[in-house]
Amino acid sequence: MSICKASRDEPYMLGRDYQASARLATLQLLIHATLGYLIHPSVSLPDRELTKELPTSARLDGFDISDEQYPPESWYGENVSLSKLDIFKPLPEELKGRYDVVHLRYFMTIVRDDTMQVVVDNLNAMLSKLHYHLQSSKVIDDGEEPGGYLQWVERDWLSKFPQSASSTDDPHTQLTCYLRRFWSPTNWINEIPKYFQKSGLSVVAYDTHTPLPIYRKPWNEDNLIGWWAAGERIPDEKERKWFQELHAKAATNAAKGWYVDWELIICVGRKGLHET
């Protein structure tokens, strides 16, 4: 059973309306607050503050399978582009070897163990084989330096819950176990370096961060909004009602201090010059 189809007929269960966009915007701020950066310090960049104006020497190209949540084009600068890309499909030639840094975030509900390698290989193929020295804006091709960086940021939420739940389990466990059946298996979330290495990338950083207690509330609320959006798409009325009643109990529990000690995972890989 598929519990939802996004408007372009690809399964995406979290929705793309203004609430979904606001949830992602909060997520962006929470990730920044939790990690303290958007791009990992192991990536050599001249200007690390990507939330401000991009330096004119830099280009930022954003991709998503859907353009429904992009802001109007006139609101972002000339050195920014946002376009559509299905990362599971063969990569367009013009994107191959083009980027110094490729960053993917939050594919928990999208990628499965048997599709993870396709995604990593496609992202790797987008990386430049040359080391572009961003400080001096010079391409270094001395045969020594490796190429571009791939950064993947993920939330390890699912491994904190069992594979299946019973009606005596707490509401969050029941909701999460109900939803996970639509995207399992997701063991890849705890094995990202393995997929990077299989793709030929050298892993230069692998860190995990548990959110500070002060951020537990907004993280929980962000999650509750996402689960509500998913629950609204359950076609069977009885099942949907069951889900929504449990969701109300989960929200009450969260307001009283329920939380899970999950981690943000960040993995950075680097392309080798001699990789084929």
Ligand X SMILES: C[S@@+](CC[C@H](N)C(=O)[O-])C[C@H]1O[C@@H](n2cnc3c(N)ncnc32)[C@H](O)[C@@H]1O
Give the Cα separation of 94 and 91 in Å (integer). Answer: 8
Instruction: Return the structure tokens found at 153.
Output: 């940021």
- Measured from the CB atom, is 105 or 249 closer to ligand X? 105
DSSP conformation class of 99: B
Per CB under 6 A, the list member of 64, 156, 169, 221 interacting with ligand X is: 64
Stretch of 10-18, 44-52, 122-130, 235-243 contacting ligand X, by CB under 6 A: 10-18
| 26 touches ligand X by CB under 6 A | no
Residue 146: is the preceding peptide bond cis (ω within 30°)? Answer: no
Query: Is 46 or 62 the residue whose CB approaches ligand X more closely?
Result: 62
Q: Which CB sits closer to ligand X, 157 or 243?
A: 157
With CB under 6 A as the contact rule, which of the stretches 64-72, 92-100, 136-144, 159-167 interacts with ligand X?
64-72
Report how far residue 209's alpha carbon sits from residue 224's, in angstroms, rounded to the nearest whole number: 20
Q: Which stretch binds ligand X (CB under 6 A): 81-89, 93-101, 138-146, 162-170?
A: 81-89
Contact between 65 and ligand X by CB under 6 A: the answer reads: yes
3-class state of residue 213 by DSSP: helix
**Cβ atoms within 10 Å of 172's Cβ, excluding its own:** 25
Token output for 143: 């045969």
x-or-dash string of contact with ligand X, 94-133, rule CB under 6 A: -----------xx---x-----------------------
14 vs 224 by CB, closer to ligand X: 14
Per DSSP, what are the bridge partners of residue 150? 102, 269
CB atoms within 10 A of CB 25: 11
Binding to ligand X (CB under 6 A): which residues in 229-258? none
**Contact (Cβ atoms closer than 8 angstroms) between residue 74 and residue 58:** no
CB distance 10 to 19 below 8 Å: no
Binder among 39, 87, 234, 265 for ligand X (CB under 6 A): 87
C-beta separation of 102 from 149 below 8 A: yes
Choose, by CB under 6 A, the member of 19, 34, 44, 66 that binds ligand X.
66
3-class DSSP state for residue 201? Answer: strand
Min dist CB 106 to ligand X, Å, is: 4
**Please, where are the H alpha helices in the chain?**
18-35, 116-126, 171-180, 192-198, 216-232, 237-255
Residue 92 or 257: which CB sits closer to ligand X? 92
Q: Applying CB under 6 A, which part among 8-16, 161-169, 187-195, 241-249 lies near ligand X?
A: 8-16
Cross-strand partners of 104? 152
Q: How many residues bind ligand X (CB under 6 A)?
A: 16
Binding status of residue 86 toward ligand X by CB under 6 A? yes
List interacting residues with ligand X (CB under 6 A): 10, 12, 14, 24, 27-28, 64-66, 85-88, 105-106, 110
